[in-house]
Amino acid sequence: MIKRLTYLLVGFFLLTGGAKLYAQNADFIAAHNFANQNKVDSAKARIDKAMSDPKVQKDAQAWYVRGFIYKMYYKAKESENRSSPARIEAVRAFRKSIQLDTSKQLLNDDKENLKYLAVRYHNDAAKALDTSNYETPIYNFQQYKDIMNEIEPSMSTKGKEIEFTMALATVYTNLYLASPRVRNKYLDMAKGAYNRVLTVDPDNVSANYNMGILYYNQAVYLIKVTDFDIDLTTMDGLQENQIKLFKQSLPLIEKAYQLDPQKEEAVQALSGIYFGLNDYQKSQLFMEKLEQMKKQKKDK
Amino acid sequence: MAYLFLTAFQQREDAAAMNAKYKTIYLYSFTKYIEWPPDYKDGNFVIGVCGTQTSLLAELNRMASTKTAGSQKIEIRSITNIEAAGKCHILFLPTENMIQFGDVASKLKGHGTLLVTEKEGMLKKGSAVNFIVVDSKIKFQLSKLNAEKQKLKISHELEALAVGNND
């Protein structure tokens, strides 16, 4: 990779006359040399110094070298830091290089480096996402998406976005279930995440099913936490809310079942919803369907 | 790179338990709105359930462990034979056990037992309270006459909460 830096810069200077800058700024030369020797601390210190020169600041190649050195630094010193400041700076520098590089000589290399950093952002988002930490992964995934949309606008990030948002919705759901209340912020966040998936992918079986189950469980939870001393008039209002939630759950689970008729969980949930709506006949029909499915599966 | 935190299919809660909770709240509320004859005011307050309704029995037992009927301790009984049911303050007869238990109303005649059913037309067959479904909600019908035949006094508040006038 270091060879690549030297090769690239020599070629670039010959074409653009950038050697002038190279010759005039000792810090820039030193930064380049330190980078070639893999001395990342020194390279970083000298490129920082070099960038204080207004001439250097207007130079695409200088920004490319800065990006390259910061990328090296990130790989050597901050690869486990999911909020790595060096990675942020490397991305900024490559973007600036693209912006200033009117000759487009550095464009492919800038993009190649940005893509590497974008993939690292994505991997970090995937690895770190859990109930104790979701904000940094959200930031990292957004970085991945923004960079990829800039450098490869024709390539859709939709698939990755669905995958990430589904995982995020599961995190929110687990946080909600860890301390369930009739309403809490994680319940709304989980619903928001599933809604985002359903907006771009209305036929997503898991999103339809899980969103339906969120409403379903919310309905059941309403009565589960109710004290036996509730007065009957208040209980009537509670039943009203519960029915509303079951009715919100129904079309989502029905859709999951239509999309995947072999999905036993959906059939079971439909039986539960109709039971919740006190439609015992329909509930029984789905229960029988479930038994049939189980029998068929066993017979196979 | 796969997500370590995989998308999981969520587990659903038990709707049958929810239905049982509503019935339990109703049955417990009846203890506050109905007055039993004097000879039913001693000892445990017994709520009998015909058959082995697991969800309902579990919910009733949960209620009985924390609540009382006035000063009486609440006891939940699973009844398999009406003749051996003993003295019950409330007897719930689920639809699926109606054939098995036969004409419960006539067997309870004159006892201070509130017969609660959940099938259309049961008030005409002697039950005092009958659960019905109205607009997907569990509600109840009431027969003051049938209750009085069992020497039970129904409060006006409970009458007002019942669906329609059924006498």
pLDDT at A140: 96
pTM for this model (two decimals): 0.82
Confidence bin at A21 (pLDDT 50/70/90): low
> Rounded to the nearest 5°, which phi and psi values hold at B70?
65, -120
- 8 A C-beta contact, residue B29 and residue B74: no
Domains and CATH numbers, chain A: 1-155 (1.25.40), 192-300 (1.25.40.10)
d(C-alpha A271, C-alpha A277), whole Å: 10
Out of B1, B8, B21, closest to residue A126 by CB: B1
CB contact under 8 A, B9 and A220: no
For residues B158 and B33, the answer to whether their CB atoms sit within 8 Å is: yes
pLDDT band of A18, cuts 50, 70, 90: low
Please give the domain boundaries of chain B with CATH numbers for all domains.
15-160 (3.40.50)
**B99 contacts chain A (CB < 8 A):** no
HSE-CB at A123 with a 13 A cutoff on CA atoms is 10
Q: Residues B92, B31: contact at Cβ < 8 Å?
A: no
Q: Which residues in A lie closer than 8 A to residue B18 (C-beta atoms)? A: 219-220, 223-224, 242, 276
Does the CB of B163 have a partner CB in chain A at under 8 Å?
no
Closest-CA residue of B relative to A277 is: B136
With pLDDT > 70 as the criterion, what percentage of chain B qualifies?
90
User: Given B8, B21, B133, which is nearest A278 (Cβ)?
Assistant: B133
- Please, which pLDDT band fits residue B54 given cuts at 50, 70 and 90? confident
Q: B160 touching A, CB under 8 A? A: no
Judged by CB atoms closer than 8 Å, whether chains meet at B12 and A216 is answered as yes
Q: Tell me the chain A residues in contact with residue B6 when contact means C-beta distances shorter than 8 Å.
A: 167, 170
Q: What is the DSSP letter of B61?
A: H
| ipTM attached to this prediction | 0.87
Q: What residues contact residue A179 under an 8 Å CB cut-off, 6+ apart? A: none
Q: Nearest residue of B to residue A276 by CA position?
A: B15
Which residues lie below 8 Å from residue A46, measured CB to CB, with a gap of 6+?
A: A27, A28, A30, A31, A34
Question: What's the confidence (pLDDT) of residue A220?
Answer: 87
Q: Which tens digits make up the pLDDT trace of A212-263?
A: 999 998 888 888 889 999 999 999 999 999 999 999 999 999 999 999 999 9
Q: Which of A156, A130, A143 is nearest to A91 (CA)?
A: A143
A167/B6 touch (CB, cutoff 8 Å), yes or no: yes
Q: What is the mean pLDDT of residues A129-134?
A: 85
CA distances A195 to A165, A185, A265, Å, are 10, 15, 20
pLDDT surpasses 50 at B6: no
CB of B53 within 8 Å of a chain A CB? The answer is: no
> Do the beta carbons of residue B33 and residue B140 sit within 8 Å?
no
Q: Which residue of A has its CA nearest to B67?
A: A228
Confidence check: pLDDT of A170 > 50: yes
Tell me if A276 and B25 make a contact (CB, 8 A cut-off).
Answer: no
The pLDDT assigned to A116 comes to 97
Work out the burial of residue A45: count CB atoms within 10 Å of its CB; fewer than 13 is exposed, 13-18 middle, 19 or more buried.
middle
Ranges of H-type helices in chain B: 15-33, 54-64, 98-101, 104-108, 144-149, 156-161
The model's pLDDT over A179-201, given as tens digits with 9 standing for 90+, comes to 877 668 999 999 999 999 999 99
* Core vs surface per residue A103-115: b (16+ CB within 10 A) or e: eebbeebbbebbe
pLDDT of residue A15: 45
Question: Greater confidence, B107 or B158?
Answer: B158
B136 with A243: Cβ contact below 8 A: yes
Alpha-carbon distance A203 to nearest alpha carbon in chain B (angstroms): 16
Q: Token digits for A249?
A: 């759950």
Query: Can you give the length of chain A in residues?
Result: 300
Compute the mean pLDDT over every residue in chain B, rounded to the nearest whole number: 88
What residues of A are in contact with residue B28 (Cβ under 8 Å)?
228-229
Of A131, A219, A223, the CB nearest to B22: A223
